[in-house]
């Protein structure tokens, strides 16, 4: 059962800190909080049997709730869970790669590199950027989140059984952020490869995002190709009509566009 009273208390606390994240929000009604709680539990907590992942999500639940309130304000519609009604907002949902770069999935490295199925080690290379196959913008330019999407990123992950990425670097709204060191290969040899953020990113309308990864050249023999499948771990809030778009090629410029 969803504890709406606990969510209302969390919402009051979240409202007080929303400005710290640079977002304008609108409080959820009890009915919306119930939908939020059900979707959060079913899309995230019950989805992951690993206790470490559940703990990450619970620690960042208030940030995800801020994302829901920001989406309500931005899209002027109600939060309505996984299967939203017409004109409402779906969420919280897992972050779909197509909503960030119009790529088929996070494993679609070919679309990210626009011609190869690997990252080149030894220097920073583009990961989240406008120059993907379907977005068709300039390689190395940021993507821009648009009016029908809000994303809350609480961790970075890799689907590769032996991740190669040594570090990530984000540039948000043109401002460079400190590098992030995942250390997942060393610290989680058997579990999910995931690196929790101290403080989540909340990406709303007109937020620009660029991210690069660095993969070292291994010694004694340097390599020229490295395969890894990094992804964003967190929650998205998407307008209902956009959720009916199945083919990433047809993702609207009201969800994501180039810069």
Residue 20 falls within a domain, yes or no? Answer: yes
**Nearest one of 72, 145, 96, 42 to 245, comparing CA atoms:** 96
Distance CA 45, CA 29 (A): 22
Determine contact, residues 2/8, Cβ cutoff 8 Å: no
b/e per residue, 125-162, with b = 16+ CB within 10 A? bbbbbbbbbbbebeeebbbbbbbbbbbbbbbbbbebee
Residue 252 falls within a domain, yes or no? Answer: no
Phi-psi region of 173 (alpha: psi -120 to 50; beta: other; left: phi over 0): left
pLDDT cut 70: percent of the chain above it: 96
pLDDT one-digit tens code per residue, 122-150: 999 999 999 999 999 999 999 999 999 99
Residue 257 falls within a domain, yes or no? Answer: no
Residue 88 falls within a domain, yes or no? Answer: yes
The average confidence (pLDDT) of the chain is 94
Q: What is the pLDDT of residue 219?
A: 64
Backbone angles phi, psi at 240, to 5 degrees: -55, -45
Going from the C-alpha of 219 to that of each of 16, 117, 122, 165, 183, the distances in angstroms are 50, 22, 11, 15, 18
Q: What is the pLDDT of residue 183?
A: 85
Q: What is the pLDDT of residue 190?
A: 60
Q: What is the pLDDT of residue 218?
A: 78
**Nearest one of 151, 143, 136, 141 to 91, comparing CA atoms:** 151
Domain extent, residue 69, equals: 4-246
pLDDT one-digit tens code per residue, 162-188: 899 999 999 999 999 999 999 875 555
Q: In angstroms, how far is the first alpha carbon of the chain from the final one?
A: 43
Burial (CB count within 10 angstroms: exposed 0-12, middle 13-18, buried 19+), residue 108: buried
Q: What is the pLDDT of residue 187?
A: 52
Residue 259 falls within a domain, yes or no? Answer: no
- pTM of the shown model: 0.95
Residue 44 falls within a domain, yes or no? Answer: yes
Residue 217 falls within a domain, yes or no? Answer: yes
Sequence-ordered alpha helix ranges (H) in the chain = 4-17, 30-40, 51-59, 61-75, 98-101, 109-113, 184-187, 240-243
Rg (CA), the chain: 18
Distance CA 92, CA 44 (A): 9
Q: What is the pLDDT of residue 48?
A: 85
Residue ranges for the chain with pLDDT beneath 50 = 189
Determine contact, residues 135/102, Cβ cutoff 8 Å: yes
Determine contact, residues 164/173, Cβ cutoff 8 Å: no
Token couple for 245: 């778009």
Number of domains in the chain: 1
Residue 90 falls within a domain, yes or no? Answer: yes
**Nearest one of 128, 158, 160 to 144, comparing CA atoms:** 128
């Amino acid at each position: 059962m969803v504890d709406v009273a606990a969510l209302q208390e969390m919402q009051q606390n979240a409202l007080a800190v929303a400005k710290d994240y640079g977002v304008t929000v609108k409080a959820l009604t009890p009915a919306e909080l119930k939908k939020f709680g059900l979707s959060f539990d079913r899309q995230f907590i019950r989805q992951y049997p690993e206790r470490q992942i559940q703990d990450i999500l619970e620690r960042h639940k208030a940030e995800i709730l801020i994302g829901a309130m920001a989406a309500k304000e931005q899209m002027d519609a109600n939060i309505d869970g996984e299967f939203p009604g017409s004109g409402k907002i779906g969420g919280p949902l897992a972050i779909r790669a197509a909503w960030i770069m119009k790529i088929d999935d996070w494993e679609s490295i070919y679309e990210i590199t626009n011609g190869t199925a690997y990252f080149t080690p030894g220097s920073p290379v583009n990961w989240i950027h406008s120059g993907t196959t379907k977005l068709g913008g300039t390689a190395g330019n940021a993507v821009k989140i648009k009016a029908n999407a809000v994303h809350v990123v609480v961790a970075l992950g890799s689907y590769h059984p032996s991740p190669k990425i040594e570090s990530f670097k984000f540039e948000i709204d043109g401002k460079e952020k400190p590098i992030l060191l995942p250390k997942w290969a060393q610290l989680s040899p058997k579990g999910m490869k995931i690196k929790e953020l101290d403080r989540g990113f909340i990406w709303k309308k007109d937020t620009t995002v660029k991210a690069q990864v660095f993969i070292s050249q291994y010694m004694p023999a340097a390599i020229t190709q490295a395969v890894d499948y990094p992804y964003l771990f967190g929650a998205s809030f998407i307008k209902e009509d956009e959720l009916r778009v199945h083919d990433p090629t047809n993702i609207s410029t009201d969800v994501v566009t180039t810069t």
